[in-house]
Amino acid sequence: MAVSNSDAAVAAGHSPGIQYTAAAAVLFLTLLGSHLATPLYPHWQDVFGLTTAHITMVFACYPIGVTIGLLFGGRLGDQVGRRPMVLVGILLTACSSLVYLMASGMGHLVAARLLNGLAIGLLSGPAVAAIVELHPTGDKAAASRIGAIATLAAPAAGLLMATLVVHFAAIGMIATLPFLIQLCGLALALGLLLVYRETLLPHNRRTFGVASFAPQGLWVPEEIRAPFTFAAVTGALAWANTGLWLALGPAMVSDVIGSNDGLLSGLAVVGFLTMAGLVQLFTRGMGYRRAISLGLGLIPPSLVLICATLLWRSGLGLFCGAVLAGMAQGLSWMGCSELTNRIAPTGLRASVLSTLYIAGYFGAAIPVVATGFIADWLGLFPAIVLMAAVFVILAVVLLLQNMRFGRAEWFAPPPPPAT
């Protein structure tokens, strides 16, 4: 593989394993702040006198920013390179943290949340593409798993940190300490960015001055369109499950235990995200078809258990439902991420991955908004039951489709990594 002089210098100074680890660490440290704001909403509501509608608007700014970033980040990452777009994402994330630290009202919170979402959208595709392309043995399955784990584990770690700060820190530090910690992590990410080489070949790179800034749109090459569509719909369902917990998990916990305990509510969401990440660590070597089948198969029982829990007010049932739902999310997302990385052409990998992430964020946002409107009309329990029924039907349809695609592959060993 031809590399530029600067890339050759980086490659000579660090082993492939160190470069691969550094790329994964950069993604983790940047995604750490994805949901730092979530436990702080009640604090800002009290301090700034915001209404529930205001908080809902601030919450919605993040997926809007992510979607905008994804429309540009993947295509730019395939033109100017992976590292330049990751650098832009890190700097914009730092800017969002500074805006949070200066926040004095609704306007600052909206700007910070939009910046944070835009940053994550711009770097997600290029960062994961770099991880896949830097794997020391070219094992796309293992690299895809690391990218998927970072996507879940980093927000979980950040959310846990912010939840503990809100519960235990002095009142004057609640809205500042999480973002000061994030800025320290971003400084480390900037240093690690110098450790790994650019993976886009020099003859394929452009400068920002001549690169096309047109949004990529929801486009993938025709030859991979059918398997990608399956992966995108599966990913959307996986993140719809996640969005349900991120947005309504605290409300479900409060409804079951009969208390507005912010620590318990935050820990329930952290537990869901943690389980989604852990299940991927303990399923190494599992083929993507198997992972998708198991993940989709766990969605119906997890949702049935959660609905039953809300009906009978069982804390144990809610815990078990969160565990099953987290496993379902982790396996489904791991499987569709690996499938996408296997079929994506190298020169278009960041664009294809960004399109997958767009599908995932749409899946996380639209069902939650719909559930919120239905909850205002019919109540929380009927809304969750109705949405659960839709998720179960879609999971069954996708499961049957996946079994038809890979019936011969089910008992076969996972395919060897692409080189």
Q: How many of the other CB atoms lie within 10 Å of CB of 56?
A: 14
The CA distance from 306 to 328, in Å, is: 13
> What's the chain's average pLDDT?
83
Residue 256 near residue 315 (C-beta atoms within 8 A): yes
At 282, the pLDDT band (50, 70, 90 cuts) reads confident
Residue 309 near residue 301 (C-beta atoms within 8 A): no
Q: Is the pLDDT of residue 71 over 80?
A: yes
Residues 6+ apart with CB under 8 A from 88: 119, 122, 123
> Is the pTM for the entire model greater than 0.85?
no
75 falls within a domain? yes
What one-letter code names the amino acid at 390?
A: V
The CA distance from 66 to 122, in Å, is: 8
207 falls within a domain? no
Which domain CATH number covers 65?
1.20.1250.20
pLDDT at 190: 96
212 falls within a domain? no
Which CA distances in Å does 26 have to 30, 71, 143, 194, 398?
A: 6, 21, 14, 10, 33
326 falls within a domain? yes
pLDDT at 92: 97
179 and 241 belong to one structural domain: no
Number of domains the chain contains: 2
The CA distance from 156 to 33, in Å, is: 10
The CA distance from 358 to 355, in Å, is: 5
The CA distance from 371 to 304, in Å, is: 16
Looking at mean pLDDT, say which of 145-154, 364-373, 376-385 comes out highest: 145-154
Residue 103 near residue 130 (C-beta atoms within 8 A): no
Of the residues 140, 173, 202, the one at which a domain ends: 202
414 falls within a domain? no
In 135-176, where does DSSP find H-type helix?
Answer: 140-168
What 8-state DSSP symbol labels residue 214?
A: S
The mean pLDDT value for 326-344 works out to 90
97 and 170 belong to one structural domain: yes
208 falls within a domain? no
Using a pLDDT cut of 90, give the percent of the chain over it. Answer: 30
At 178, the pLDDT band (50, 70, 90 cuts) reads very high
| Residue 386 vs residue 367, higher pLDDT | 386
Dump pLDDT digits (tens) for 78-107: 889 899 999 999 999 999 999 999 999 999
Dump pLDDT digits (tens) for 227-251: 999 999 999 998 887 777 766 666 6
Lowest mean pLDDT, pick from 174-188, 246-260, 314-328: 246-260
The CA distance from 34 to 11, in Å, is: 31
| Residue 297 vs residue 153, higher pLDDT | 297
187 and 237 belong to one structural domain: no
Residue 296 near residue 328 (C-beta atoms within 8 A): yes
Residues 6+ apart with CB under 8 A from 94: 183, 186
Q: How many of the other CB atoms lie within 10 Å of CB of 343?
A: 18
Handedness of CA 218, 223, 224, 225 (dihedral sign): positive
Burial 158-176 (b: 16+ CB within 10 A, else e): bbbbbbbbbeeeeeeebbe
Residue 90 near residue 187 (C-beta atoms within 8 A): no
Q: How many of the other CB atoms lie within 10 Å of CB of 106?
A: 17
Lowest mean pLDDT, pick from 113-127, 301-315, 329-343: 301-315
| Residue 372 vs residue 124, higher pLDDT | 124
194 and 243 belong to one structural domain: no
Dump pLDDT digits (tens) for 16-42: 899 999 999 999 999 998 888 888 887
261 and 198 belong to one structural domain: no
39 falls within a domain? yes
Structural domain range at position 276: 221-407
Using a pLDDT cut of 70, give the percent of the chain over it. Answer: 87
pLDDT at 52: 62
